[in-house]
Amino acid sequence: MKRTKLLIPGPVELDSEVLLAMARPMMGHRTPDFEEVLEECWRLLREVYQTRNEVAIITGSGTSAMEAAVASVIKEGDEVVSITGGKFGERLAEIASAFGAEVKRVDVEWGSTFAVEQVESAIAESNAVAITLTHNETSTGVLHDARAVGKLAREYDILFIADCITSVGGDDVRTDEWGIDLCITGSQKCLAAPPGLGFVAVSERAWEVITNNTRRRAYYLDLARYRKALARGTTPFTPSVTLIYGLRAALKKIEEEGLKARIERHRRLAKATREAARAMNLELFAEQHCASNTVTAIKIPPHLSDDDVRGVLKREYGILVAGGQAQLKGKIFRIGHMGNVTFADLVQVLSALELVLKKAGHQLEPGKGVAAAEKVFSG
Ligand SMILES: Cc1ncc(COP(=O)(O)O)c(C=O)c1O
């Protein structure tokens, strides 16, 4: 099978050590040997999460962790403030509604971020028990200020539920310092592990709410079950042993690189991508002051189609970048530069993109985009 180079916001390409780790023979999941593997995963997860909280490991994609977080703390009729502004922000609000919450939305223009006063008045005018935020909104390439929301959540004594699915392990997520009570992530994004695992780091005050919430409507995704298992150094149900082998190898790679260096690499990749896009005469979708460090959304020039850009890139160069989602379908494309992406990977996509755009009749000077990226890396 011909290999496609992935520059999408997950699943990302895996290191060979991660792939090989998953070829190991099965272990019994209730054995000391496997519990050792789990222990190491928890220790390393706490490092990337910058937390002392316990982290629930769920077999399921990122959305399962979103559902676990919301369903475990919310009961029917509770008010929840949800900051939207993209497909994933919408999803958290939808999950809260699905579990009976009365959702007060703070609608944010897609591509932009919120004003703190807007969020504060939504909290002040409600009886909210929790606030939800997508830290890095993958659908628009916007990084929201989770620290500011955490501060408000503390001031108003409500829980802070943050979807950090495309930030943990790629950007700075200070779970404890920012007061994130339920910090959600997934395996196939910045952690550069295989898809299929979801994580929630849960604060003490969130555990208290969960324990006292006798009207929880979840079973498999009930975090109370995860806590009981965590106390015994295990998981409540049979975990995907194979994926956990992969996770451990991926987390070890992060430890080797160092979280600080890893975050810096992502920031440089993002800056290089933005500079290159501008040099190619392309318009960025997200506002500069809130641009994501893990995914960059770029407008498709009005005279071109999604296929002219993404289709040709895939067919002629074997490179996959992501398309727009929901109302942005056909209007933007997104370059994922998260996980193991290197400068060399980025140069490949930028160079191919220049050729694709030029061929499609877009006005640009070939080489200028790549040169702009090089400048970021050499500076
Ligand atoms: C910010 C964000 N939240 C949630 C999800 C959903 O994760 P999953 O597809 O793993 O369920 C994604 C996936 O792209 C995401 O980027």
Asked whether 10 lines ligand 1 (CB < 6 A), one says yes
Residue 361 Cα to ligand 1 midpoint, Å, equals: 34
Cis ω for the linkage preceding 9 (within 30 of 0): no
Place of tokens 């290191």: 15
Q: Whose CA is nearest to atom 10 of ligand 1?
A: 62
Q: What is the pLDDT of residue 28?
A: 97
Asked if residue 357 belongs to a domain, the reply is yes
Residues of the chain with pLDDT under 50: none
Pocket of ligand 1, candidates 6, 8, 12, 63: which has the most ligand atoms within 8 Å of its Cβ, to mutate?
63
- If asked whether residues 241 and 298 sit together in one domain, one would say no
Asked if residue 214 belongs to a domain, the reply is yes
Residue 114 Cα to ligand 1 midpoint, Å, equals: 21
Residue that terminates a domain, selected from 256, 285, 306: 256
Asked if residue 89 belongs to a domain, the reply is yes
Q: pLDDT per residue over 292-321, tens digit each? A: 999 999 999 999 999 999 999 999 999 999
Asked if residue 5 belongs to a domain, the reply is no
- Give backbone dihedrals phi and psi of 303, rounded to 5 degrees, phi first: -85, 0
Q: What is the pLDDT of residue 343?
A: 97
Q: What is the pLDDT of residue 350?
A: 98
Residue 187 Cα to ligand 1 midpoint, Å, equals: 10
Count of all residues that appear for the chain in the document: 379
Query: CA-CA-CA-CA torsion for 118, 120, 122, 127, nearest 10 degrees?
Result: 180
Asked if residue 7 belongs to a domain, the reply is no
- If asked whether residues 262 and 250 sit together in one domain, one would say no
Spatial CA neighbour of 91 closest among 58, 64, 118, 122: 64
Asked whether 292 lines ligand 1 (CB < 6 A), one says no
- If asked whether residues 221 and 86 sit together in one domain, one would say yes
Asked if residue 334 belongs to a domain, the reply is yes
Q: Is the alpha carbon torsion for 333, 335, 338, 339 positive or negative?
A: positive
Asked if residue 22 belongs to a domain, the reply is yes
Phi-psi group of 169: left, alpha or beta (phi > 0 → left; psi -120 to 50 → alpha; rest → beta): left
Specify whether the CB–CB gap between 69 and 218 falls below 8 A.
Answer: no
Asked whether 291 lines ligand 1 (CB < 6 A), one says no
Residue that terminates a domain, selected from 256, 289, 309: 256
Residue 319 Cα to ligand 1 midpoint, Å, equals: 21
Domain of residue 337, residue span: 258-378
CA end-to-end span of the chain, whole Å? 39
Residue that terminates a domain, selected from 216, 233, 256: 256
Q: What is the pLDDT of residue 379?
A: 79
Phi-psi group of 10: left, alpha or beta (phi > 0 → left; psi -120 to 50 → alpha; rest → beta): left
Q: What is the pLDDT of residue 363?
A: 96
pTM: 0.98
- If asked whether residues 266 and 164 sit together in one domain, one would say no
Q: What is the pLDDT of residue 336?
A: 98
Helix or strand run (H / E) with residue 247: helix 241-257
- If asked whether residues 263 and 319 sit together in one domain, one would say yes
Of ligand 1's listed atoms, the one at least distance from the Cα of 66 is 4
